Amino acid sequence: MIGDISLVRALGMRGLPVAVVTEDRSAKCTRSRYCRTVVTTPGWMTEPDGAIAALIAWAKWQPAPPVLFYQGDHDLLAVSRARERLARCFRFVLPDQELVEDLVDKRRFAALADRRGLPVPDTMTIPEGSNAADVLQRWHRFPCVLKPAIRSNWYELISSHQKALRIETRTELELLLRRFEADIARFLLQECIEGGEENLLSYHAYVRPGGEIVAEFTGRKIRTSPMRYGLSTYVEITDDDEVRRLGRETIEKLGFSGVLKIDCKRDAGNGRLYMLEINPRFNLWHHPATVAGVGIPEAVYWDCVAPDRVKPMRPARKGVRWMVPISDFKASREYRAAGQLSRARWLFELLTVDVNEGFRIGDPFPVLADLAKLLKRLIFRAAPKAGPTT
Protein backbone atom coordinates (compact mmCIF):
# COMPACT_ATOMS: atom_id res chain seq x y z
CA MET A 1 0.00 0.00 0.00
CA ILE A 2 1.43 3.36 -1.10
CA GLY A 3 -0.63 5.83 0.86
CA ASP A 4 -1.56 7.22 4.26
CA ILE A 5 -3.20 6.13 7.50
CA SER A 6 -6.75 6.32 6.10
CA LEU A 7 -6.03 3.64 3.49
CA VAL A 8 -4.09 1.50 5.99
CA ARG A 9 -7.12 1.47 8.28
CA ALA A 10 -9.63 0.90 5.48
CA LEU A 11 -7.76 -2.30 4.64
CA GLY A 12 -6.71 -3.35 8.12
CA MET A 13 -10.11 -3.03 9.76
CA ARG A 14 -11.38 -5.62 7.26
CA GLY A 15 -8.72 -8.09 8.35
CA LEU A 16 -6.41 -7.61 5.36
CA PRO A 17 -2.64 -7.66 6.05
CA VAL A 18 -0.94 -4.38 5.08
CA ALA A 19 2.63 -3.74 3.94
CA VAL A 20 3.25 0.02 3.95
CA VAL A 21 5.41 1.34 1.11
CA THR A 22 7.21 4.55 2.09
CA GLU A 23 10.45 6.49 1.84
CA ASP A 24 10.13 7.40 5.55
CA ARG A 25 10.18 4.46 7.94
CA SER A 26 9.00 6.76 10.75
CA ALA A 27 5.86 7.81 8.83
CA LYS A 28 2.69 7.78 10.93
CA CYS A 29 1.05 4.95 9.00
CA THR A 30 3.97 2.63 9.82
CA ARG A 31 2.95 2.87 13.50
CA SER A 32 -0.50 1.48 12.86
CA ARG A 33 -1.39 -1.89 14.37
CA TYR A 34 -2.51 -2.88 10.87
CA CYS A 35 0.95 -2.40 9.36
CA ARG A 36 2.57 -5.85 9.18
CA THR A 37 5.77 -4.73 7.44
CA VAL A 38 7.40 -1.65 5.92
CA VAL A 39 8.81 -1.56 2.38
CA THR A 40 11.30 1.29 2.00
CA THR A 41 11.64 2.89 -1.43
CA PRO A 42 12.99 6.14 -2.89
CA GLY A 43 10.48 8.98 -3.26
CA TRP A 44 7.70 8.44 -5.80
CA MET A 45 7.88 12.05 -6.97
CA THR A 46 11.66 12.33 -7.21
CA GLU A 47 12.76 8.79 -8.12
CA PRO A 48 9.82 6.83 -9.55
CA ASP A 49 12.03 4.30 -11.38
CA GLY A 50 13.99 3.58 -8.21
CA ALA A 51 10.78 3.21 -6.23
CA ILE A 52 9.40 0.71 -8.76
CA ALA A 53 12.66 -1.28 -8.69
CA ALA A 54 12.62 -1.45 -4.88
CA LEU A 55 8.99 -2.54 -4.89
CA ILE A 56 9.66 -5.33 -7.41
CA ALA A 57 12.72 -6.51 -5.47
CA TRP A 58 10.59 -6.87 -2.32
CA ALA A 59 7.71 -8.60 -4.14
CA LYS A 60 9.99 -11.30 -5.55
CA TRP A 61 10.51 -12.63 -2.02
CA GLN A 62 6.78 -12.92 -1.24
CA PRO A 63 5.05 -16.33 -1.30
CA ALA A 64 2.25 -14.99 -3.56
CA PRO A 65 1.85 -11.84 -5.67
CA PRO A 66 0.68 -9.04 -3.34
CA VAL A 67 -2.25 -6.76 -4.23
CA LEU A 68 -0.97 -3.24 -4.89
CA PHE A 69 -2.80 -0.07 -3.79
CA TYR A 70 -1.83 3.52 -4.70
CA GLN A 71 -3.18 6.77 -3.23
CA GLY A 72 -1.23 9.70 -4.72
CA ASP A 73 -0.90 11.06 -8.24
CA HIS A 74 2.83 10.36 -8.45
CA ASP A 75 2.65 6.75 -7.30
CA LEU A 76 -0.38 6.23 -9.56
CA LEU A 77 1.58 7.49 -12.57
CA ALA A 78 4.65 5.44 -11.69
CA VAL A 79 2.60 2.25 -11.25
CA SER A 80 0.61 2.86 -14.44
CA ARG A 81 3.72 3.50 -16.53
CA ALA A 82 5.43 0.38 -15.17
CA ARG A 83 2.30 -1.81 -15.21
CA GLU A 84 3.79 -4.51 -17.44
CA ARG A 85 6.84 -4.98 -15.20
CA LEU A 86 4.76 -4.86 -12.03
CA ALA A 87 2.19 -7.34 -13.35
CA ARG A 88 4.82 -10.10 -13.17
CA CYS A 89 4.84 -9.97 -9.37
CA PHE A 90 1.81 -7.90 -8.25
CA ARG A 91 -1.93 -7.95 -8.68
CA PHE A 92 -3.74 -4.60 -9.13
CA VAL A 93 -6.51 -2.82 -11.01
CA LEU A 94 -5.88 0.17 -13.29
CA PRO A 95 -7.73 2.02 -16.04
CA ASP A 96 -6.25 2.18 -19.53
CA GLN A 97 -2.81 3.84 -19.44
CA GLU A 98 -3.71 6.71 -21.76
CA LEU A 99 -6.83 7.42 -19.70
CA VAL A 100 -4.73 7.59 -16.51
CA GLU A 101 -2.50 10.20 -18.17
CA ASP A 102 -5.57 12.14 -19.37
CA LEU A 103 -7.09 12.24 -15.90
CA VAL A 104 -3.98 13.09 -13.87
CA ASP A 105 -2.83 15.97 -16.10
CA LYS A 106 -5.59 18.60 -15.82
CA ARG A 107 -4.63 20.12 -19.19
CA ARG A 108 -5.27 16.77 -20.85
CA PHE A 109 -8.43 16.32 -18.76
CA ALA A 110 -9.81 19.62 -20.09
CA ALA A 111 -9.38 18.33 -23.65
CA LEU A 112 -10.89 14.94 -22.71
CA ALA A 113 -13.89 16.62 -21.07
CA ASP A 114 -14.49 18.66 -24.22
CA ARG A 115 -14.35 15.54 -26.42
CA ARG A 116 -16.68 13.50 -24.18
CA GLY A 117 -19.11 16.27 -23.28
CA LEU A 118 -18.45 16.28 -19.54
CA PRO A 119 -20.06 19.17 -17.58
CA VAL A 120 -16.86 20.97 -16.55
CA PRO A 121 -16.52 24.75 -15.99
CA ASP A 122 -15.08 26.83 -18.82
CA THR A 123 -11.33 26.16 -18.85
CA MET A 124 -8.28 27.59 -20.62
CA THR A 125 -4.92 25.87 -20.73
CA ILE A 126 -1.91 28.20 -20.81
CA PRO A 127 0.64 27.55 -23.56
CA GLU A 128 4.39 27.59 -23.22
CA GLY A 129 6.41 30.41 -24.70
CA SER A 130 6.14 34.13 -25.24
CA ASN A 131 2.52 34.08 -26.49
CA ALA A 132 1.07 33.09 -23.10
CA ALA A 133 0.22 36.74 -22.31
CA ASP A 134 -1.56 37.15 -25.66
CA VAL A 135 -3.60 33.98 -25.10
CA LEU A 136 -4.60 35.13 -21.61
CA GLN A 137 -5.97 38.36 -23.06
CA ARG A 138 -8.77 36.25 -24.53
CA TRP A 139 -9.90 35.19 -21.04
CA HIS A 140 -12.81 37.31 -19.78
CA ARG A 141 -14.40 35.25 -16.99
CA PHE A 142 -13.79 36.83 -13.59
CA PRO A 143 -13.59 35.78 -10.86
CA CYS A 144 -11.71 32.64 -11.94
CA VAL A 145 -9.25 30.18 -10.44
CA LEU A 146 -5.66 29.30 -11.31
CA LYS A 147 -4.99 25.57 -10.91
CA PRO A 148 -1.92 23.37 -11.42
CA ALA A 149 -1.99 20.90 -14.29
CA ILE A 150 -0.11 18.42 -12.06
CA ARG A 151 0.39 19.20 -8.39
CA SER A 152 4.20 18.80 -8.37
CA ASN A 153 5.70 21.34 -5.96
CA TRP A 154 2.47 23.38 -6.20
CA TYR A 155 2.19 24.05 -2.47
CA GLU A 156 5.83 25.12 -2.23
CA LEU A 157 5.39 27.42 -5.23
CA ILE A 158 2.39 29.28 -3.78
CA SER A 159 3.45 28.96 -0.09
CA SER A 160 -0.02 27.76 0.89
CA HIS A 161 -2.09 24.59 1.22
CA GLN A 162 -4.75 25.83 -1.20
CA LYS A 163 -5.47 23.60 -4.18
CA ALA A 164 -6.17 26.65 -6.38
CA LEU A 165 -5.83 30.44 -6.34
CA ARG A 166 -8.87 32.68 -6.79
CA ILE A 167 -8.36 35.61 -9.18
CA GLU A 168 -10.83 38.49 -8.99
CA THR A 169 -9.64 40.82 -11.76
CA ARG A 170 -7.48 40.99 -14.88
CA THR A 171 -4.94 43.03 -12.94
CA GLU A 172 -4.52 40.15 -10.48
CA LEU A 173 -4.16 37.74 -13.40
CA GLU A 174 -1.41 39.83 -14.98
CA LEU A 175 0.45 40.03 -11.66
CA LEU A 176 0.30 36.24 -11.33
CA LEU A 177 1.50 35.87 -14.91
CA ARG A 178 4.63 37.82 -14.05
CA ARG A 179 5.07 35.95 -10.76
CA PHE A 180 4.86 32.50 -12.35
CA GLU A 181 6.26 33.41 -15.77
CA ALA A 182 8.84 30.60 -15.81
CA ASP A 183 6.22 27.99 -14.84
CA ILE A 184 3.05 29.43 -16.39
CA ALA A 185 2.52 26.50 -18.78
CA ARG A 186 2.06 24.23 -15.73
CA PHE A 187 -1.24 25.98 -14.90
CA LEU A 188 -4.72 26.41 -16.28
CA LEU A 189 -7.51 28.93 -15.75
CA GLN A 190 -11.01 27.83 -14.88
CA GLU A 191 -14.34 29.54 -14.38
CA CYS A 192 -15.05 30.07 -10.68
CA ILE A 193 -18.08 28.13 -9.41
CA GLU A 194 -19.58 30.19 -6.61
CA GLY A 195 -20.17 28.80 -3.14
CA GLY A 196 -18.11 27.53 -0.23
CA GLU A 197 -16.34 24.20 0.07
CA GLU A 198 -19.50 22.72 1.59
CA ASN A 199 -20.81 22.71 -2.00
CA LEU A 200 -18.06 20.25 -3.00
CA LEU A 201 -19.56 16.82 -3.67
CA SER A 202 -18.00 13.57 -4.83
CA TYR A 203 -18.82 10.25 -6.44
CA HIS A 204 -16.71 7.16 -5.76
CA ALA A 205 -16.84 3.76 -7.44
CA TYR A 206 -15.03 0.55 -8.24
CA VAL A 207 -15.83 -0.60 -11.77
CA ARG A 208 -14.91 -3.91 -13.38
CA PRO A 209 -13.88 -4.12 -17.05
CA GLY A 210 -17.11 -4.09 -19.03
CA GLY A 211 -18.76 -1.49 -16.81
CA GLU A 212 -20.07 -3.49 -13.84
CA ILE A 213 -20.13 -1.21 -10.78
CA VAL A 214 -19.14 -3.38 -7.81
CA ALA A 215 -19.32 -0.60 -5.22
CA GLU A 216 -20.22 3.11 -5.17
CA PHE A 217 -21.05 5.91 -2.76
CA THR A 218 -21.36 9.70 -2.67
CA GLY A 219 -20.01 12.26 -0.23
CA ARG A 220 -19.72 15.95 0.59
CA LYS A 221 -17.08 18.09 2.24
CA ILE A 222 -18.06 19.94 5.40
CA ARG A 223 -14.82 21.77 6.17
CA THR A 224 -11.39 22.22 4.63
CA SER A 225 -8.15 23.90 5.67
CA PRO A 226 -7.73 26.59 4.44
CA MET A 227 -11.43 27.45 4.23
CA ARG A 228 -11.19 28.20 0.49
CA TYR A 229 -9.69 25.55 -1.86
CA GLY A 230 -8.18 23.70 1.11
CA LEU A 231 -7.54 20.10 2.10
CA SER A 232 -10.38 18.05 3.60
CA THR A 233 -10.60 18.02 7.39
CA TYR A 234 -14.25 17.01 7.91
CA VAL A 235 -16.39 15.04 5.41
CA GLU A 236 -19.64 13.06 5.31
CA ILE A 237 -20.97 10.06 3.39
CA THR A 238 -24.21 10.99 1.58
CA ASP A 239 -26.86 9.47 -0.68
CA ASP A 240 -27.06 11.97 -3.56
CA ASP A 241 -29.02 10.74 -6.57
CA GLU A 242 -27.89 13.57 -8.88
CA VAL A 243 -24.20 13.04 -8.12
CA ARG A 244 -24.59 9.27 -8.48
CA ARG A 245 -26.33 9.69 -11.84
CA LEU A 246 -23.53 11.98 -13.08
CA GLY A 247 -20.94 9.45 -11.90
CA ARG A 248 -22.59 6.54 -13.70
CA GLU A 249 -22.99 8.55 -16.91
CA THR A 250 -19.30 9.50 -16.78
CA ILE A 251 -18.21 5.88 -16.32
CA GLU A 252 -20.19 4.97 -19.43
CA LYS A 253 -18.87 7.90 -21.51
CA LEU A 254 -15.26 7.10 -20.65
CA GLY A 255 -15.57 3.30 -20.79
CA PHE A 256 -13.92 3.45 -17.38
CA SER A 257 -12.80 0.51 -15.26
CA GLY A 258 -10.92 0.65 -11.97
CA VAL A 259 -11.24 2.91 -8.93
CA LEU A 260 -12.33 6.49 -9.37
CA LYS A 261 -13.36 9.62 -7.49
CA ILE A 262 -15.23 12.37 -9.32
CA ASP A 263 -15.12 15.79 -7.65
CA CYS A 264 -18.09 18.05 -8.36
CA LYS A 265 -19.35 21.41 -7.16
CA ARG A 266 -22.90 22.70 -7.03
CA ASP A 267 -23.13 26.37 -8.01
CA ALA A 268 -24.57 28.28 -5.06
CA GLY A 269 -26.33 30.65 -7.46
CA ASN A 270 -28.07 28.48 -10.05
CA GLY A 271 -27.82 25.05 -8.40
CA ARG A 272 -26.10 23.52 -11.43
CA LEU A 273 -23.71 20.63 -10.83
CA TYR A 274 -20.24 20.97 -12.39
CA MET A 275 -17.50 18.35 -12.64
CA LEU A 276 -14.09 19.57 -11.46
CA GLU A 277 -11.81 16.54 -11.82
CA ILE A 278 -11.58 12.76 -11.87
CA ASN A 279 -8.97 10.90 -9.80
CA PRO A 280 -8.47 7.20 -10.72
CA ARG A 281 -6.91 6.17 -7.39
CA PHE A 282 -7.65 5.32 -3.76
CA ASN A 283 -8.21 8.16 -1.28
CA LEU A 284 -9.10 9.14 2.29
CA TRP A 285 -12.83 8.67 1.63
CA HIS A 286 -12.42 4.90 1.58
CA HIS A 287 -11.99 4.82 5.36
CA PRO A 288 -15.36 6.42 6.27
CA ALA A 289 -17.02 4.55 3.40
CA THR A 290 -15.72 1.24 4.79
CA VAL A 291 -17.25 2.17 8.15
CA ALA A 292 -20.46 2.97 6.23
CA GLY A 293 -20.48 -0.53 4.71
CA VAL A 294 -18.87 0.06 1.30
CA GLY A 295 -15.26 -1.12 1.42
CA ILE A 296 -13.88 -0.39 -2.03
CA PRO A 297 -10.28 -1.36 -1.12
CA GLU A 298 -11.58 -4.65 0.26
CA ALA A 299 -13.60 -5.29 -2.90
CA VAL A 300 -10.51 -4.65 -5.05
CA TYR A 301 -8.42 -6.97 -2.89
CA TRP A 302 -10.81 -9.88 -3.20
CA ASP A 303 -11.44 -9.23 -6.88
CA CYS A 304 -7.69 -9.64 -7.43
CA VAL A 305 -7.39 -12.72 -5.20
CA ALA A 306 -10.72 -14.56 -5.49
CA PRO A 307 -13.07 -12.77 -7.94
CA ASP A 308 -15.83 -15.36 -7.61
CA ARG A 309 -16.54 -14.25 -4.04
CA VAL A 310 -17.05 -10.56 -4.96
CA LYS A 311 -20.65 -9.41 -5.31
CA PRO A 312 -22.04 -5.88 -5.82
CA MET A 313 -22.15 -4.08 -2.48
CA ARG A 314 -25.24 -2.58 -0.85
CA PRO A 315 -25.58 1.23 -0.64
CA ALA A 316 -23.45 3.00 1.96
CA ARG A 317 -25.00 4.14 5.21
CA LYS A 318 -25.39 7.88 4.77
CA GLY A 319 -24.43 10.29 7.53
CA VAL A 320 -21.11 8.64 8.48
CA ARG A 321 -18.68 11.50 9.23
CA TRP A 322 -14.84 11.54 9.16
CA MET A 323 -12.59 14.10 10.80
CA VAL A 324 -8.90 14.84 11.36
CA PRO A 325 -9.28 16.71 14.69
CA ILE A 326 -6.00 18.69 14.77
CA SER A 327 -6.40 19.88 11.18
CA ASP A 328 -10.11 20.54 11.64
CA PHE A 329 -9.47 22.53 14.84
CA LYS A 330 -7.19 24.82 12.82
CA ALA A 331 -9.85 25.04 10.12
CA SER A 332 -12.53 25.84 12.71
CA ARG A 333 -10.85 29.16 13.50
CA GLU A 334 -11.60 30.44 9.99
CA TYR A 335 -15.15 29.11 10.11
CA ARG A 336 -15.74 30.74 13.52
CA ALA A 337 -14.37 34.05 12.23
CA ALA A 338 -16.82 33.81 9.32
CA GLY A 339 -19.71 33.19 11.71
CA GLN A 340 -20.32 29.67 10.41
CA LEU A 341 -19.30 27.68 13.49
CA SER A 342 -19.23 27.97 17.27
CA ARG A 343 -16.79 26.36 19.72
CA ALA A 344 -19.65 24.38 21.26
CA ARG A 345 -20.75 23.10 17.86
CA TRP A 346 -17.22 22.05 16.95
CA LEU A 347 -16.77 20.20 20.23
CA PHE A 348 -20.11 18.41 19.72
CA GLU A 349 -19.03 17.33 16.23
CA LEU A 350 -15.68 16.10 17.53
CA LEU A 351 -17.35 13.99 20.22
CA THR A 352 -19.96 12.50 17.87
CA VAL A 353 -17.90 11.94 14.72
CA ASP A 354 -17.98 8.36 13.40
CA VAL A 355 -14.36 8.22 12.21
CA ASN A 356 -11.73 10.12 14.19
CA GLU A 357 -8.66 9.80 11.97
CA GLY A 358 -6.49 11.48 14.57
CA PHE A 359 -7.09 9.09 17.44
CA ARG A 360 -8.68 5.65 17.32
CA ILE A 361 -8.84 3.60 20.49
CA GLY A 362 -8.24 0.41 18.52
CA ASP A 363 -5.24 1.91 16.71
CA PRO A 364 -3.63 4.52 19.02
CA PHE A 365 0.07 4.36 18.14
CA PRO A 366 0.07 6.69 15.08
CA VAL A 367 -1.20 9.64 17.12
CA LEU A 368 1.10 8.77 20.02
CA ALA A 369 4.03 8.90 17.59
CA ASP A 370 2.83 12.32 16.41
CA LEU A 371 2.56 13.55 20.00
CA ALA A 372 6.06 12.30 20.76
CA LYS A 373 7.43 14.25 17.77
CA LEU A 374 5.53 17.36 18.87
CA LEU A 375 6.83 17.06 22.43
CA LYS A 376 10.38 16.65 21.14
CA ARG A 377 10.04 19.84 19.06
CA LEU A 378 8.63 21.78 22.01
CA ILE A 379 11.44 20.65 24.29
CA PHE A 380 14.00 21.62 21.65
CA ARG A 381 12.48 25.09 21.29
CA ALA A 382 12.31 25.60 25.05
CA ALA A 383 15.88 24.47 25.67
CA PRO A 384 18.23 27.39 26.45
CA LYS A 385 20.54 28.24 23.59
CA ALA A 386 24.24 28.14 24.29
CA GLY A 387 25.70 31.66 24.40
CA PRO A 388 29.07 32.73 23.04
CA THR A 389 32.09 31.48 24.93
CA THR A 390 34.65 33.88 26.35
pLDDT in tens, 123-175: 998 776 656 777 788 889 999 998 888 877 666 667 678 888 899 999 988 88
| pLDDT higher than 50, residue 390 | no
In a domain, 371, yes or no: no
- Answer yes or no: is 113 within a domain: no
**pLDDT tens-place string over residues 252-262:** 999 999 999 99
75 found inside a domain: yes
Give a yes or no: residue 351 inside a domain: yes
Q: Which of 61, 96, 131 is the last residue before a domain boundary?
A: 96
- Angle (CA) 70-76-81 rounded to 5° is 130
Determine, yes or no, domain membership for 379.
no
Mean pLDDT of the chain: 91
Q: Are residues 78 and 131 in the same domain?
A: no
Percent over 90 (pLDDT), the chain: 74
DSSP code, position 332:
H
Q: Is residue 377 part of a domain?
A: no
The C-alpha R_g of the chain, in whole angstroms, comes to: 22
Calculate the alpha carbon distances from 238 to 23, 196, 203, 206, 218 in Å: 35, 18, 10, 17, 5
- Give the pLDDT score at 176: 80
pLDDT bracket for residue 68 (50, 70, 90): very high
Query: How many structural domains comprise the chain?
Result: 3
Instruction: Please check whether residues 145 and 281 belong to one and the same domain.
Output: no
C-alpha torsion sign, points 68, 74, 77, 78 = negative
pLDDT in tens, 187-243: 889 999 999 889 999 999 999 999 999 999 999 999 999 999 999 999 999 999 999
- Indicate whether 220 and 142 sit together in one domain: no
pLDDT in tens, 261-315: 999 999 999 999 999 999 999 999 999 999 999 999 999 999 999 999 899 999 9
The C-alpha atoms of residue 188 and residue 139 are separated, in whole angstroms, by 11
pTM, two decimals, is 0.93
How confident is the model at residue 57, as a pLDDT? 97
Q: What does the alpha-carbon distance between residue 135 and residue 369 come to, in Å, rounded to a whole number?
A: 50
Residues forming a β-bridge with 261: 204, 279
Cα angle vertex 263, ends 261, 264, to 5°? 140
Domain membership flag for residue 364: no
Question: What CATH number should be reported for the domain holding residue 156?
Answer: 3.30.1490
How does DSSP classify residue 309? G
Distances (CA, A) of 371 to 20, 323, 331, 376: 21, 18, 20, 8
The answer to whether residues 169 and 216 belong to one domain is no
Question: How far apart are alpha carbons 374 and 221 in whole angstroms?
Answer: 28
Mean pLDDT of 75-94: 97
CA–CA separation, 158 vs 178, rounded Å? Answer: 14
Question: What whole-number distance in Å separates Cα of residue 114 and Cα of residue 123?
Answer: 10
Same domain, yes or no, for 187 and 204? no
204 and 281, same domain (yes or no): yes
Rounded Cα distance, 322 and 329, in Å:
13
- CA nearest neighbour of 104 among 135, 129, 128, 81: 81
Whether the Cβ atoms of residue 255 and residue 318 lie closer than 8 Å to each other: no
Q: If pLDDT is split at 50, 70 and 90, which confidence band does 374 have?
A: low
Same domain (yes/no): 71, 145:
no
Q: Are residues 229 and 351 in the same domain?
A: yes
Strand order in the sheet with 187-191: 123-125, 187-191, 144-148, 165-167
| Domain shared by 41 and 162, yes or no | no
Is the pLDDT confidence value at 387 over 60? no
CATH of the domain at 285: 3.30.470.20
* Domain match, 177 and 202 both: no
**Residues belonging to the chain:** 390
pLDDT exceeds 60 at position 388: no
- Looking at 191, 226, 244, the residue that finishes a domain is 191
pLDDT given for residue 185 in this prediction: 65
Q: Judge if 216 and 310 occupy the same domain.
A: yes
Q: What percent of the chain clears pLDDT 70, i.e. is strictly above it?
A: 91
pLDDT at 379: 76
Report yes or no: 162 and 228 within 8 Å, Cβ to Cβ: yes
Q: 82: which residues sit within 8 A by CB, 6+ positions away?
A: 49, 52
Same domain, 33 and 51: yes
The last residue of one of the domains, among 140, 156, 191, is 191
111 belongs to a structural domain: no
Give the model's pLDDT for residue 265: 97
* Mean pLDDT of the region 78-87: 97
pLDDT of residue 40: 96
Task: Quickly state the pLDDT bin for 186 (edges 50, 70, 90).
Answer: confident
Position 261, amino acid:
K
Mean pLDDT in residue range 313-328: 96
pLDDT at 116 over 90: yes
Q: Which amino acid is at 50?
A: G
Domain hosting residue 68, numbered range:
5-96
Residue 206, beta-bridge partner list: 215, 259
pLDDT of residue 336: 96
pLDDT of 30 strictly over 90: yes
Q: Residue 340 pLDDT more than 50?
A: yes
pLDDT of amino acid 162: 85
